[in-house]
Amino acid sequence: MSGFDHWLDSIRAKPKRYRQRFALGISLCITGVIFFVWITTFHIKTDDASLASVATPLQAAGQTGGEAISVFAGKIDEAKSAWAKFTGSMSGAQNATTTAQNPQ
């Protein structure tokens, strides 16, 4: 029996939960290596101006993420101002009700 077969048998002897975590870890490592190789292939050095202006996937994701964050921040600001208007109108209505109930 070779060393690899012995190692594989020792993994098979472990509990099912351990084997599942081990399989997940190995698959994540392999996926990470493939992703790293894939990302590094997008760095193209050329004198062609048309290719120089093309964004890498990470740059494109950063730009898209930045735009999404800006839009989200704008929506939060809109919600804050709408809430301020709502609470302001509610306090004004409450003051008017209190004044109408207790005229002096």
- From the number of C-beta atoms within 10 Å of its C-beta (0-12, 13-18, 19+), residue 56 rates as middle
* Tokens standing for residue 71: 């839009």
Q: What is the pLDDT of residue 13?
A: 94
Please say whether the beta carbons of 43 and 56 come within 8 A: yes
- In one-letter notation, the amino acid at residue 59 is Q
CA nearest neighbour of 31 among 20, 23, 42: 23
3-state secondary structure 18-50: HHHHHHHHHHHHHHHHHHHHHHHCCCCCCCCHH
Supply the pLDDT for residue 51: 58
Centre a 10 Å sphere on the Cβ of residue 100 and count the other Cβ atoms it contains: 8
Helix-strand-coil split of the chain, %, nearest 5: 80, 0, 20
Q: What is the pTM of this model?
A: 0.39
- Domain boundaries in the chain? 1-41, 57-104
Q: Which residue ranges of the chain lie beneath pLDDT 70?
A: 1, 43-55, 90-104
